[in-house]
Amino acid sequence: MSPTDPPVERRSHARGIVLKDAIIITDDAKISCSVRNQHVHGAELRVDPGVTIPDRFVLHVPADDASYRAVVRWRRNERLGVQIY
């Protein structure tokens, strides 16, 4: 592979780039976030730096008129990768 080759896609599902407002709902809080990319089984979320997000929560996306159960699969600074059901 040369430096000019496109990156190899290792994901099993193609992600669509989106920018949607969403709400992380926990037992005791509602936390604003944005959905940066999404596919049928997951999404990348952005939250304010310093906000503590539990490993499991409900993700409400008003633009989709939908709520999903979510499990955090990875964390990088203010970004979260979640699996959604």
Q: Is residue 45 part of a domain?
A: yes
Three-state DSSP at 73 gives strand
Please indicate, yes or no, if residue 59 is contained in any of the structural domains: yes
12-56 per-position pLDDT tens digit: 555 567 899 999 999 999 999 999 999 889 999 999 999 999 999
Residue 75 lies in a domain: yes
d(CA 52, CA 54): 7
Residue 21: CATH number of its domain: 2.40.10.220
Cα–Cα distance between 38 and 46 in angstroms, integer? 12
Domain count for the chain, please give it.
1
Entry pTM: 0.80
pLDDT at 9: 45
Give domain status of residue 5, yes or no: no
* Residue span of the structural domain in which 80 resides: 16-84
